[in-house]
Amino acid sequence: MSIDKIKPEDYSFATASKRVDEIIDKVDSALDKQVGGMHYKQYPIQPVEFCQKNQLNSIESSIIKYAVRHRDKGGKQDVEKIIHYAKLLLELEYADKS
What is the tens place of the pLDDT at every residue in 50-72?
A: 999 999 999 999 999 999 999 98
Q: Are the CB atoms for 72 and 51 separated by under 8 Å?
A: no
Higher pLDDT, 6 or 35: 35
Higher pLDDT, 75 or 7: 75
| Distance in angstroms (rounded) separating the CA atoms of residues 22 and 4 | 23
- Spell out the domain ranges in the chain: 29-98
- Give percent of the chain with pLDDT exceeding 90: 45
| Distance in angstroms (rounded) separating the CA atoms of residues 48 and 64 | 9
pTM over 0.75: no
